[in-house]
Structure 1
Amino acid sequence: MIEDAERRAIEHECARLVALYANLNDEARWGEVAALYAEDGVMYRPTAPDQGVVGREAILSAFKARPPRTTRHVCSNVVIDVEGPATARGTSAMLLFTAADAPPLVGSFHDRFCLTAEGWRFAERRGSLIFT
């Protein structure tokens, strides 16, 4: 049984990962973005929801392979469900702005979190687009 204070702390740490991911992504700080994943974490981009990128090194390579761009991710409606002392799940809404002449992308993330020696990390981050 998880006490309320511990549950709230886990919810806070996982919600912080969601926000930190968006901010670091917008700043093109790819090494720090990849470090938010567990070593064996999996990333599914909203634009490629069926193509998992497995492991921190592969995730880092995938981000570095992107052409430079200016972005602003807006994440909201973050809900974290604590499953146990070392696992949680979460959902969030996402709005991505990329350029003045491109319409924003609207989607969501479904996340699995795990507690590692480095703290809470994404075990899996699965993005999807709602309006394309």
Structure 2
Amino acid sequence: MSPDERRAIEWDCARLVALYANLNDAAHWADLAALYAEDGIMTRPSAPDIEIRGHTAILAAFRARPPRLTRHVCSNVVIDVEDADHARGTSAMVLYTGTTPPAVGWFHDRFIRTTAGWRFSERRGTMTFSP
């Protein structure tokens, strides 16, 4: 793999991390669930031991949330390319709700290239500081 191909994968996966935060804050649940591979796995930072698997379950989990205004800020994004179709990454997350102190945590991601482009095969959240 060339350095340019590696950088393109890193960019595509880092963009997925940012897009996830923006879609989450906009409550665009169907678009958010579509960022996962068909059999993708999600764990919320507030419930890291509960796996939610597949588009249908992930979409249902987001739709079950009570409405709220949020702003997710992701930083310290590091993507490690494993091969042409797989990568992993970490990112720091701060969640602002305006009603409680910010929550701080991490996402540990695994990415896979699909026919639709790069998607999360796993997105596991953990909390560092909770309000």
TM interval, short-chain normalised:
over 0.9
Q: What's the CA shift for 1:22? A: 0.1
Query: Percent identity among equivalent residues?
Result: 67
Structure 2 residue aligned with 1:80: 79
The 4+ residue runs of structure 1 with deviation greater than 2 A are: none
Secondary structure at the counterpart of residue 49 of structure 2: coil
Counterpart secondary structure, 1:61: helix
Aligned residues: 130
**Alpha-carbon offset, residue 98 of structure 1:** 1.1
Match of 1:113 in 2: 111
Task: Quote the Cα distance in structure 2 between the aligned partners of 1:16 and 1:75.
Answer: 11
Q: Distance in 1 between matches of 2:77 and 2:100?
A: 25
Match of 2:49 in 1: 50
Instruction: Answer yes or no: is 1:125 the counterpart of 2:123.
Output: yes
Q: Show CA shifts across 1:32-62 (max 9, x none).
A: 0000000000000000000010001100000
TM-score of the superposed pair, with normalisation by structure 1: 0.97
Hey, what's the Cα distance between the residues in 2 that align with 1:70 and 1:88?
31
1:40 is matched by which residue type in structure 2?
Answer: D
Name whichever structure is richer in strand by fraction.
2
Q: Which runs of 5+ in 1 are unaligned?
A: none
Distance 1:60 1:125 in 2: 14
Q: Which amino acid aligns with 1:58?
A: A
Partner residue, 2:35: 36
The residue aligned with 1:5 is 4
CA RMSD of aligned residues (A): 0.5
* Match in the other structure for 1:103: 101
Equivalent-residue separation in structure 2 for 1:98 and 1:52 (angstroms): 24
How high is the TM-score relative to the length of structure 2? 0.98
